[in-house]
Amino acid sequence: MPLYNTTILSLHHPPPPTSIIRDDLPTLYVYDHCPFCVRVRLALGVKNVKHLIHFLANDDIPTPTKLVGKKIAPIFSLPEDSLIMMESLDIISKIDTDERFGPTNQILPASGRKDIKAWQKSVQVLLRTLQRPRYVATGLLPEFQQLDGRHAFIKNHQLPPYEKPEWKGDGTPENPGMDMDTKLKLYAEAMAADPTPLIEDLNARLVELDDMLYSEHYCSEEVGGLSLDDIDLWARLRSISIIQGVAWPVKLRTYMDNLSALGDVPLYDEMAL
């Protein structure tokens, strides 16, 4: 993908808003693969708010704990207000209702569409199977640059058909969870397996979603513009681009490229496995 796709922006969106640069830049603490983190990154990009990004290592517990008392992301720090926030939708509401961050209410409310939510639920197992091994196998995502970060993710994120209780355990002697060697083996096997049947299934599901998409610019006709529907949908779809061989329908692929350029959040095509 080009460093900055001006053709996409000029054809499909109004010019980006004036860049908002505060004297003390806000900092956003994130994991690159996390869709809740991507929600906020996309919103900040849409509003053209200059900010610092602190990519947390996946095994870094002290940094988020010092900020908000637990290991979580995203975390938004606004130095000029001595403000630290978590919860992606609360952060987005803050930046879209505060005049210091440009014109307010640029991101329209969610429509409450049930069809897209149902589609997301229907592909959850499929995407976990394809995406999770690839996140750690690339070695390129910032939260997984070191072995400890990759192992922390594998330790805590189950692969289908396993459920979280049998993967992680519950801390009791009766249910200690799966041992780490077995988890590592399952991730390696998932990465080595022929993905063709799963990708064929995913391609068919993407055609279904393409039919639900109103346009290449925003997903919900009834809202009339870019909304929280798009912030959530695009953030969840972004990780599909880490899967090599996916056949994106034209409208959906253009939608992905449009919002990537508008929000200044890259897709994973160049590192797809």
> What does the pLDDT look like over 184-212, one tens digit per residue?
999 999 999 999 999 999 999 999 999 99
Place of tokens 């399952």: 186
- Specify the pLDDT at position 2: 41
Q: Please tell me the distance from the alpha carbon of residue 240 to that of residue 216, in angstroms, as a whole number.
A: 17
| Percentage of the residues of the chain whose pLDDT score is greater than 70 | 94
- pLDDT per residue over 81-102, tens digit each? 999 999 999 999 999 999 999 9
| Cα–Cα dist 235/259, whole Å | 10
Task: Answer yes or no: are the C-beta atoms of 213 and 255 closer than 8 Å.
Answer: yes
Closest of 237, 228, 23, 191 to residue 110, by C-alpha: 228
Contact 119, 208 (CB under 8 A): yes
The DSSP bridge pattern shows strands 52-55 and 27-30 to be parallel
Do 225 and 156 contact (CB within 8 A), yes or no?
no
- Tokens 């695009």 sit on residue: 234
| pLDDT at 10 exceeding the cut of 80 | no
In angstroms, rounded to a whole number, what is the distance separating the alpha carbons of residues 77 and 65? 14
What pLDDT score does 4 carry? 39
Which burial class, exposed, middle or buried, applies to 97 when counting CB atoms under 10 A from its CB (0-12, 13-18, 19+)? exposed
Q: How many CA atoms lie within 13 A of 263 on its CB side?
A: 29
In DSSP notation, 23-70 reads SS--EEEE-TT-HHHHHHHHHHHHTTB--EEEEPPTT--HHHHHHHSS
Global model pTM greater than 0.85: yes
The pLDDT of residue 15:
64
* Spatial contact of 217 and 12, defined as CB atoms under 8 Å apart: yes
The pLDDT-based confidence of 6 (bands split at 50, 70, 90) is very low
At 115-170, the pLDDT tens digits run 999 999 999 999 999 999 999 999 899 999 999 999 999 999 999 999 999 998 87
pLDDT of residue 174: 79
Residue 107: both structure tokens together? 């991101």
